[in-house]
Amino acid sequence: DAKTTQPPSMDCAEGRAANLPCNHSTISGNEYVYWYRQIHSQGPQYIIHGLKNNETNEMASLIITEDRKSSTLILPHATLRDTAVYYCIVRVGRAGGTSYGKLTFGQGTILTVHP
């Protein structure tokens, strides 16, 4: 699975949009971009994923560049409860081989939302 690079930490004011970048310059054509977050002492929570088109759900939006080498997770109106570690993960979408199911978590970005 491709390696990702994220800034170690970011701050955001409550009510403003939080834009979390992720670099995945070695991504392959069959690899998806996944975003999870982890609040302290809890299990990771799935946020969103995409292949090449931009995606939006009730939690966030995912913007993937045309060359797919980077992406941005957008939390449109951040709240204090969005303070967490955010992980950007690239993995093969189809089952098979040793990559099946494996999520390779890096260090992630610590997002702090302040009043």
Partner 1 sequence: DGGITQSPKYLFRKEGQNVTLSCEQNLNHDAMYWYRQDPGQGLRLIYYSQIVNDFQKGDIAEGYSVSREKKESFPLTVTSAQKNPTAFYLCASSIVDQPQHFGDGTRLSIL
Q: Residue 111: which residues within 8 A CB-CB, separation 6 or more?
A: 9, 10, 11, 12, 18, 20, 37, 78, 82, 83, 84, 85, 86
Instruction: Give whichever of 43 and 115 is closer to partner 1, judged by the CB atom.
Output: 43
How many residues lie near partner 1 (CB under 8 A)? 22
Which residues 11-30 are close enough to bind partner 1 by CB under 8 A?
Answer: none
Which residue in the set 51, 76, 100, 114 belongs to the binding site for partner 1 (CB under 8 A)? Answer: 100
Which residue in the set 42, 53, 66, 81 belongs to the binding site for partner 1 (CB under 8 A)? Answer: 42
- The SS3 assignment for 98 reads helix
Which residue in the set 31, 34, 60, 82 belongs to the binding site for partner 1 (CB under 8 A)? Answer: 34
